[in-house]
Structure 1
Amino acid sequence: MTQKIYQVDAFTDKVFSGNPAAVCPLDHWLEDELLQKIAKENNLAETAFYVKDQDQYQLRWFTPKVEVDLCGHATLASAFVLFNHEGHKGDIIHFHSPRSGRLTVVKQSQLLTLNFPTDTIEEIALTSEILDGFSLAPISAYKGKTDYLLVYNSESDVVSLKPNLEVIAALPVRGVIVTAMGEHVDFVSRFFAPQSGIDEDPVTGSAHTTLTPYWSNVLDKKDMTAIQLSDRKGYLKCTYLKDRVEISGQCVLYMTGNINLN
């Protein structure tokens, strides 16, 4: 048995940047254990699997270690594959995630726009467990549904801070977002999730469901630009729609192939 696979760089317009995701179109769901093994073998931040279901697509995401509730860049990559390589007709795709519900992606020329549920955040204390995770202390901290959000004074702080991955891995969250106001965009960020098998994620679409409402409130803006400052860098446009957020970016195809599952 062979399984088709694509590798796509998301939130970028050139290969070797943005966030790579594997995408596997399925005719039917394989066993969860096999899905996890494929994701582990791919050794990318996320592998997305989808199955067509009438007028929508059921969608799931796996890191090398676990299935996750929401993944932006692999959703963007899945839409790119459907629009450009798997024959989807029209300019809108309706996904359904068993863990996150309704997700849509709209195509406008080369730009793809995710529509995701907005995260809800609350300010929390800067505990020693949080402070010990980073070489620089943030000015404030927040807790979302799955992640911590740490706010810093400047873009240079976000660039220069060093994570203590062992400490971060022990925190009771999916991962930690660090952010500051940007010098050339509205805001910048980085994302660390060693507890999910990802030391530093190149570009994290789902983190922007947390970042977008936070910075919309701080900057009093609905439409914003953002850069995730990993080594590969990712470029995003974000729009705050109260209970939903729009996250836009481009994708490029890196590789197509077949997995041998004999």
Structure 2
Amino acid sequence: MAASIPIYTVDAFTDVPFEGNPAAVCPLTCNSGISDHILQKIAIEMNLSETAFPKLLSSDDSFEKSNTFGLRWFTPKEEIKLCGHATLATAAILFDKFGNSSGSITFQTLSGDLIVRKEGGLFRMDFPTGYTETQELSDYNKLITSLGDITGVEDVVYCSSLRYLLVRLKDGWTRKQFEEWQLQMGDLHKSTDKLIVLIVTIKGSPDQGFSDKTGNHYDFVSRCFAPWMKVPEDPVTGSAQTVLAHYWSKVLNKTKFYVRQCSERGGDIQIILRDDRVDILGKARIVMEGKFML
């Protein structure tokens, strides 16, 4: 008889299905005995940007009552150090599916301890800040060329801890233009092997459409691309917000932001920079549950 493990999909950074960023969540017991090879195969089978594997730390723990878990994330290509939306999705499963009654949940990860609290309809994630360093534009000529028809580049900064590059475009875009803009994905993939995620960001104004449905203004918007991880465009990238918060805090001289990732699915996010930590707040919607037959 084939072994089975539970698996769920969750749309993160939204409270309605088919928006935000979908993640698979596969809870594991402490003695599951599943190899990293099989974990990677599961992520390939799910074919989402990330599959999360929360794990009980001892035989006395449970998903319903424990407040500390192991957590790993796999893309269809490999394991990664940090993932925001799949952490949010995991918290939603623990709090909303398993009914975990803990005031906060700590995840032990490759990026250290990550803490998530549920506050009403929002999940608050406590992540390390993604510190950035200014780069020479000339070092990324091939990458900039792959961006295609753009108004120009204002800044390029790099987060070495995550291997994320942030490119800020010059002002002047409308929201419609930014959401419809397409880069040359094949050329981007070949342009460098130094990074795993490219963040493209701009500052917009309300009269250019950079507001939500109720009229609240976004401080900045972004799009994220990771063809190096077999994820051409990521719908909503929680970990990227740690880099964006560090960069835009210096530009805007503030620490609290309301932002949007302008992918086709899209998602709204609240961010609070606290020195070496970033609070990322968002909603989540469980959309599917089942069993993985091994």
Structure 2 residue 51 is the aligned partner of structure 1 residue 47? yes
SS in 2 for 1:191: strand
Deviation at 1:130, TM superposition (A): 2.1
2:207 is matched with which residue?
A: none
CA–CA separation in structure 2 for the residues paired with 1:133 and 1:100: 31
Q: How far apart are residue 175 of structure 1 and its match?
A: 1.4
Which deviations, in whole Å up to 9, do the C-alpha atoms of 1:12-36 show, x marking residues without a partner? 0100000000001100352000000
Amino acid at match of 2:9: Q
SS of equivalent residue, structure 1 residue 34: helix
Q: Which of 202-211 and 145-154 deviates more?
A: 145-154
1:76 and 2:109 matched: no
Counterpart of 2:143 in structure 1 is: 130
Number of matched residues? 260
Whether the 8 Å CA contact 1:158–1:179 is kept in 2: the answer is no
Q: Which runs of 5+ in 1 are unaligned?
A: none
For the Cα contact (< 8 Å) 1:134–1:161, is it kept in 2?
no
Tell me which protein shows more strand as a share of its residues.
1
* Structure having the higher Rg: 2
- The residue aligned with 1:144 is 159
Letter in 1 for 2:141: S
| 1:192 is the counterpart of 2:225 | yes
Q: What residue is the counterpart of 1:244 in the other structure?
A: 277
TM-score (norm 1): 0.95
Q: Secondary structure at the match of 1:200?
A: strand
Write the letter of the residue equivalent to 2:146.
G
Change (3 A) 1:147 1:189: same
Structure 2: gaps spanning 5 or more residues: 62-66, 205-209, 212-217
- Compare 219-228 and 197-206 and name the one that shifted more: 219-228
Letter in 2 for 1:130: L
Give the alignment partner of residue 227 of structure 1, picking from 248, 260, 278: 260
**Which of 7, 11, 27 is 2:9 aligned to?**
7
Superposition map of 1:74-113 within 5 A: 74-97=86-109, 99-113=110-124
2:184 aligned partner: 164
In 1, Cα distance between equivalents of 2:74 and 2:141: 31
Separation in 2, partners of 1:178, 1:201: 12
Confirm whether residue 33 of structure 1 aligns to residue 37 of structure 2.
yes
How many angstroms apart in 2 are the aligned matches of 1:247 and 1:194? Answer: 24
SS at match of 1:232: coil
Across the aligned residues of Structure 1 and Structure 2, the Cα RMSD in angstroms comes to: 1.3
Q: Which secondary structure state, in structure 1, belongs to the residue aligned with residue 224 of structure 2?
A: strand
Q: Give the corresponding residue for 2:197.
A: 175
User: Distance between the aligned counterparts of 2:134 and 2:181, measured in 1?
Assistant: 21
2:224 and 2:292 map into 1 onto residues whose CA distance is 30
State the distance in 2 between where 1:158 and 1:70 align. Answer: 26
Report the secondary structure of 2:9's partner residue.
strand
> What residue number does 1:114 align with?
125
Percent identity over paired residues: 40
**Preserved contact between residue 117 and residue 125 of structure 2 (Cα < 8 Å):** yes
Which secondary structure does the structure 1 equivalent of 2:231 belong to?
coil
- The TM-score normalised by the length of structure 2 is 0.85
| CA–CA distance in structure 2, aligned partners of residues 57 and 167 of structure 1 | 40
Q: Does structure 1 retain, via aligned residues, the 8 Å contact 2:179–2:264?
A: no
CA distance in 2, matches of 1:232, 1:160: 12
Report Cα offsets for 1:228-253 as digits up to 9, x if no partner.
Answer: 00000011000010100000000001
